[in-house]
Amino acid sequence: MTQITKVLVSKDQLQQRVRELGAEISRDYAGKELVLICILKGGAVFMSDLMREITFPVGIDYMSVSSYGASSTSSGVITIKKDIDMDIRGKHVLLVEDLIDTGLTLQHLKELFALREAASVRICTILSKPSRRLVDVPIDYSGIDIPDEFVVGYGLDYAEQFRNLPEVWIVETRD
């Protein structure tokens, strides 16, 4: 049995943190050509909120990678399911993620965009589970640290459900 049992991060907390991250990014990239690259599908909700908190025109693009499949543990292998359309050579890239867990996905993606000769590659995530990290990938803009619980909502799914919840909820699975 699967249940969502408790709100871990409220709508207000998310909104406030997104505003702060948007302000920080706006200051740091002022006068530069910035492209936000959303990691689908989980990053889509955060991406939509974040881009509207940035105070100058930015490019946006979307990418889909798989690392987890239906299971909730990391395989450490990344496959690109949908690539970006833009040529990002010489541009500043900011990867926009829903949650950083082991860090493996972002480590791979950071290397990929460096090979593609982006002017810089940084990482922005709304949620992070620091206790789960397997690789030491620097997170330039980190929203809210959470404990080692499986969560859904604000873009995150369990078997493709719950992405549309406005809060972040804890999932409990029992037999």
Instruction: Name the site residues for Mg ion (rule: CB under 5 A).
Output: 39, 42, 98, 157
* Using rule CB under 6 A, residue 120 touches ligand 5GP: no
8 Å CB contact between 69 and 9? no
Catalytic residue among 101, 145, 157, 175: 101
Query: Distance between CA atoms of 84 and 67, rounded to whole angstroms?
Result: 17
Query: Distance between CA atoms of 119 and 91, rounded to whole angstroms?
Result: 5
Q: Which of ligand 5GP, Mg ion, none sits in contact with 139, Cβ below 5 to 8 A by type?
A: none
DSSP state of 47: H
8 Å CB contact between 156 and 126? no
Closest-CA residue to 35 (of 61, 53, 55): 61
Shortest CB 25 distance to ligand 5GP, Å: 19
8 Å CB contact between 17 and 46? no
Shortest CB 104 distance to Mg ion, Å: 11
Shortest CB 88 distance to ligand 5GP, Å: 20
Q: Which of ligand 5GP, Mg ion, none sits in contact with 101, Cβ below 5 to 8 A by type?
A: ligand 5GP
* Using rule CB under 6 A, residue 143 touches ligand 5GP: no
From residue 130, how far is each of 54, 109, 136, 148, 159 by CA, in Å?
A: 26, 19, 10, 8, 24
Catalytic residue at 28? no
* Using rule CB under 6 A, residue 64 touches ligand 5GP: no
Cα maximum dimension of the chain: 54
Q: Which of Mg ion, ligand 5GP, none sits in contact with 96, Cβ below 5 to 8 A by type?
A: none
Interface contacts to ligand 5GP, rule CB under 6 A: 42, 67-68, 74, 97-105, 150-152, 156-158
Catalytic residues: 101
